[in-house]
Amino acid sequence: MTASVFEPWNDPEAKPLIHFQNVTKRYGEFTAIDNLTIDIYEREFYALLGPSGCGKTTLMRMLAGFETPTEGKIFLAGQDIAPVPPNKRAVNMMFQSYALFPHLSIWENIAFGLKREKMPKHDISDRVDEMLRLTRLEKFARRKPHQISGGQRQRVALARSLAKHPKLLLLDEPLGALDKKLRQDTQFELMDIQEKTGTTFVIVTHDQEEAMTVASRVAVMDHGKIIQVASPDRIYESPNSVYVADFIGDVNLIEGTAKPNGNEAYAMSWHEGHEPLTVKSPNAFSDGQKCHLAIRPEKVAISAEKPADADNAVQGRILDIAYLGNISTYHVELPTGAVIKAQTANTRRIARRAYTWEDTVWLSWTATAGVLLAD
Amino acid sequence: MRRFVLIAIPYVWLLALFLVPFAIVLKIALSDAAVARPPYFPQFDWAEGIAAFIAELDFENFVWLTEDDLYWKAYLSSLKIAVISTFFTLLAGYPIAYGMARAPEEWRPTLMMLVILPFWTSFLIRVYAWMGILSNEGFLNQFLMWIGVISEPLTILNTNSAVYIGIVYTYLPFMILPVYSALERLDGSLIEAAEDLGCSRLTAFWLVTIPLSKTGIIAGSFLVFIPVLGEFVIPSLLGGSDTLMIGKVLWEEFFSNRDWPVASAVAVVLLLLLVIPIVLFQRNQQKQQEAEQ
């Protein structure tokens, strides 16, 4: 199988399904969405990620039609959707609380939207059965929502919102109410269903792991602005700001000043009396510019002896060890007082580990391991 | 032992305050009217024994209720007034409860207070106040004539309309409170979900809000219907001579005719009629509790 890479956002010819044009939403004095412009393409699984209060839910509710922008326009398939009420939009939403109708059976819940379309009876029945099969709920069709488990309810909500063949499906923290194990299984199920139906999904979440797992692109938001939109690996590997680096995953941030040192290479002085760090960065920095080196813990190697040919090596003392079974995270205190986290896979039995608490160890990383970010 | 005492308390309460009085009323209903004190016969006499006493009781009064059409007409008329006024109370109470449930959170206690506030004034005084409003020279007629809607005063007082107005006014809180509590629990995202799935505001109300407030509607309707069926004060103060309600008939039998046995028979039949809606009401409550579990 030679699947071409799905990256419509890199194709200048591609027409976005959704286009936000300088959208601003204010509630009195409070600005929930601040002059925001984004494109979402067909068949995308687009994640809006951010802390609570960052405006991601407002953004989603504007797509559903429950809120209207104060300024700017939203286009769905080229059409301004501001005057279209929620019940006339080809957009369906899966609510955080699932919002299943407690007085209706699972079957009737899924059929609810279809009945409003005045669809012929046998077509409704076919479509509901299809959705029940897709979400593996055939056995529960006659039950009421309070008679099934949380995971099943989540699937009913998904089936109900997909039944009407929406152009766009909005998912508001869809897995928030499930426990961790179920959540992981459900994430893959969601991706599967998204692929099978070919529907565009926009998911709102504050769980970065969830966003990284399911999404084709992740939009990191803060204070009503989009900070970065990129595929999960790019968000993780090349964050464009300290905020994104810090929000997604674990990161070590080392402050210093940059000094150009050859082609895309910089010597970053970070503490007096210590050798400057060697860093490669495609972003240009001027001489003496303040900057942060963001480096992921798993990209920092830890060893008892000084490694021979490392680009960067610093000595420190192990302060703490977080043992997670498959991996361990070491908190190493440098002589400067800064604490650097290093993560390694536990490939050896714990009894055979060469270092433990209070031991002096060497941390090392390559010039390309970290990302140099402006202040 | 402690458990037994705990269970015994409500049973003793029911026995002393419900079953014993009911037995006494039933006994009077089975007696004959007499010019005596108390005005009925037979009286229980230890010397003759219980068998002789029971032998003298009969169902004459109940037979009499079926023979004179006044009584069943009064029952039917009470039923009609109770049904119609329950309907109007629902019609007036539901929008109020809906408005309260949709009001901003900080307003709700105040609105609730306003609904309960009339109870702080004597019920009788409030009904008398309605006489002042509804009479021919009352405030309502004066106001309508002043704005020029009518030129002759309307006769409202001492008609069935006045009875309906009085009942709806008095029993409105009993409808509002259960409906409000059902609507307040309603998750707003359900309405949004209905709209999202293609409902207009009105269909969402009809398909989601109404079914989900059904338990409140039923509870409120019974809380109004049951006492209105036996209502006496409102029809006798606001109603006319043609307003026939069983409560009024009962009062007249008891105080005007001094026919305690017939009055008691009327009361016993009324109670039996009320048992049906009360049982239905309790089953509804039970179902509601099961649904919440």
DSSP state of B197: T
Strands (E), A41-113: 45-49, 71-76, 79-80, 91-94
Q: Do A95 and B189 touch (CB under 8 A)?
A: yes
Calculate the average pLDDT of chain A. 90
> In the structure, what pLDDT confidence band is assigned to residue A2 with cuts at 50, 70 and 90?
very low
At A219 the pLDDT is 94
pLDDT digits (tens, 9 = 90+) for A210-268: 899 999 999 999 999 999 999 999 999 999 999 999 998 889 999 889 888 888 888 88
Tell me the chain B residues in contact with residue A113 when contact means C-beta distances shorter than 8 Å. Answer: 197-198
Q: Does A87 touch chain B (CB under 8 A)?
A: yes
Q: Do A97 and B198 touch (CB under 8 A)?
A: no
Helix axes B69-102, B260-292, angle to 10 degrees: 30
> In the structure, what pLDDT confidence band is assigned to residue B204 with cuts at 50, 70 and 90?
very high
> In the structure, what pLDDT confidence band is assigned to residue A110 with cuts at 50, 70 and 90?
very high
At B277 the pLDDT is 80
pLDDT digits (tens, 9 = 90+) for B23-34: 999 989 988 888
Q: Residue A205 pLDDT more than 70? A: yes
At B292 the pLDDT is 63
Q: Does A153 touch chain B (CB under 8 A)?
A: no
Least confident of A175-179, B220-224, B268-272: A175-179
Residue A118, both tokens: 């005045």
Torsions phi, psi of A331, nearest 5? -100, 115
Q: Which among B130, B123, B125 has a CA at the least distance from the CA of B156? A: B130
> In the structure, what pLDDT confidence band is assigned to residue B54 with cuts at 50, 70 and 90?
confident
Tally of CB atoms within 10 A around A190: 23
Give the pLDDT mean for B176-203: 94
Give the pLDDT mean for B191-220: 93
Q: Does A118 touch chain B (CB under 8 A)?
A: no
Least confident of B79-83, B114-118, B280-284: B280-284
CA distance A333 to A325: 23
At A1 the pLDDT is 42
CA distance A23 to A21: 5
The answer for residues whose C-beta is within 8 angstroms of residue B64's C-beta and 6 or more apart is B262, B265
Give the pLDDT mean for A306-335: 90
Q: Do B212 and A86 touch (CB under 8 A)?
A: no
Q: Does A64 touch chain B (CB under 8 A)?
A: yes
> In the structure, what pLDDT confidence band is assigned to residue A288 with cuts at 50, 70 and 90?
confident
Distance from CA of A48 to the nearest CA of B (A): 20
Q: Does A347 touch chain B (CB under 8 A)?
A: no
> Residue A21: what residue type?
Q
At A4 the pLDDT is 67
Q: Say what percent of chain B tops pLDDT 90.
A: 52
Looking at the predicted complex, does its ipTM rise above 0.90? no
pLDDT digits (tens, 9 = 90+) for A53-92: 898 999 999 999 999 999 999 999 889 998 899 999 999 9
Residue B15, both tokens: 């026995």
Q: Which among A164, A165, A183 has a CA at the least distance from the CA of A175? A: A183
At A325 the pLDDT is 87
Is the omega angle on the peptide bond into residue B42 within 30 degrees of 0, that is, cis? yes
Q: Do A92 and B197 touch (CB under 8 A)?
A: yes
Give the pLDDT mean for A142-154: 92
Tally of CB atoms within 10 A around B255: 10
Regarding predicted confidence, which is higher, B93 or B292?
A: B93
pLDDT digits (tens, 9 = 90+) for B223-265: 999 899 988 899 989 988 888 899 888 988 888 888 899 999 9
Tell me the chain A residues in contact with residue B212 when contact means C-beta distances shorter than 8 Å. Answer: 101-103
Q: What is the pTM of this model?
A: 0.81
